[in-house]
Amino acid sequence: MKKLLLILTVCLALGCKKDPDKTLTQNDWRIESATVKPAMTIGRKTSTNYLELMGPSSCVSNSMISFSSKGTYVWSSNGALCDLLSDTSVKTWKREGDQIFLSAVPNSPMALKGDKLTQTTSTTTTEGIIYTFVFVYKSNKLKILMVCLGNICRSPLAEGIMRHLADERQLNWEIASAGTGNWHIGKAPDHRSIAAAKALGYDISKQQAQQFKQSMFASYDLILVMDRNNLADVISLAKSDEERKKVKLFLDNEEVTDPYWDNALFNPVCRQVEKRCIEIIKQLS
């Protein structure tokens, strides 16, 4: 009881609450899209797609914003044709609700919604044409969902091992898992998966099963399934080509054997999952 009172006292004094700005400061934000209206003509091309007009090697097409917890930010680009002059001035930002105000463009705040920042700005040409630009930046935090049948054997192993390895390498990844079936919702992984993972130095005991839902397509960048039945079940819920393209077999062209009915399979499956997680990290980081 004394310890609890001490914790409450500290919380009241220091404020034990989540930092709302971590959404900004823990991730870099890369350009996802840029549109201009009315359509603009550059060279021989006329389009409302500003990134297409500027080209894949331009500054804007490769731009990124990084926010510091100290209230400063950096706009950068690695575009091969980027001709920006070096700017060493300190730029600051402040947040008011979901609006992010940048000192360099104080009249064009960015709107934060989920994992996207949207900025609208306008410019008037000497001919009197008013062009309105909408820039959308997306958090580069990679979100991966592992999927199997019941979410108690294979996908929990993939979730726990991948998270552990990503954290070790200080990768800004979010890892989760789900099952296409609803039999084990809220339950811990199979005790045999927990033991196999523990033998290799991974703790998956606190994970809980959940069922795959259509809404998860919007929440994850990559959905890795354990076998072709999982692949068909997940893809059947996709509503667009963009969603379908997110779904891939965990082992590329092979399946991860379901060890549920054979105790002897858990350790080799766990080692197989670990090996593949290391390969995926090398490919994506």
How much is the pTM? 0.64
- Same domain for 219 and 163, yes or no, is yes
Answer whether residue 5 is part of any domain. Answer: no
Integer Cα distance of 149 and 227 in angstroms = 9
- Same domain for 191 and 205, yes or no, is yes
Answer whether residue 101 is part of any domain. Answer: yes
Number of domains in the chain: 2
- Same domain for 146 and 38, yes or no, is no
CB atoms within 10 A of CB 41: 10
Q: Of the candidates 118, 139, 160, which is a domain's last residue? A: 139
- Same domain for 266 and 155, yes or no, is yes
As a whole number, mean pLDDT of residues 129-143 equals 92
Q: Of the candidates 139, 156, 182, which is a domain's last residue? A: 139
- The CATH code of the domain that includes 40 is 2.40.128
- Same domain for 209 and 151, yes or no, is yes
Residue 153 Cα distances to 38, 198, 205, angstroms: 53, 14, 12
Domain that holds residue 202: 142-284
Integer Cα distance of 80 and 59 in angstroms = 8
* Interval 150-201: pLDDT, tens: 999 999 999 999 999 999 998 889 999 999 999 999 999 999 999 999 999 9
Whose CA is closest to 258, among 245, 248, 246, 268? 268
Answer whether residue 94 is part of any domain. Answer: yes
The position carrying tokens 């914003």 is 65
- The CATH code of the domain that includes 212 is 3.40.50.2300
pLDDT of residue 10: 38
- Same domain for 73 and 204, yes or no, is no
Answer whether residue 15 is part of any domain. Answer: no
* Interval 37-86: pLDDT, tens: 999 999 899 999 999 999 988 889 989 898 998 999 998 887 776 655 45
Answer whether residue 81 is part of any domain. Answer: yes
- Same domain for 249 and 279, yes or no, is yes
pLDDT beyond 80 at 3: no
Answer whether residue 112 is part of any domain. Answer: yes
Q: Of the candidates 112, 139, 166, which is a domain's last residue? A: 139
Instruction: Report the catalytic residues.
Output: 148, 154, 258
* Interval 234-248: pLDDT, tens: 999 999 999 999 999
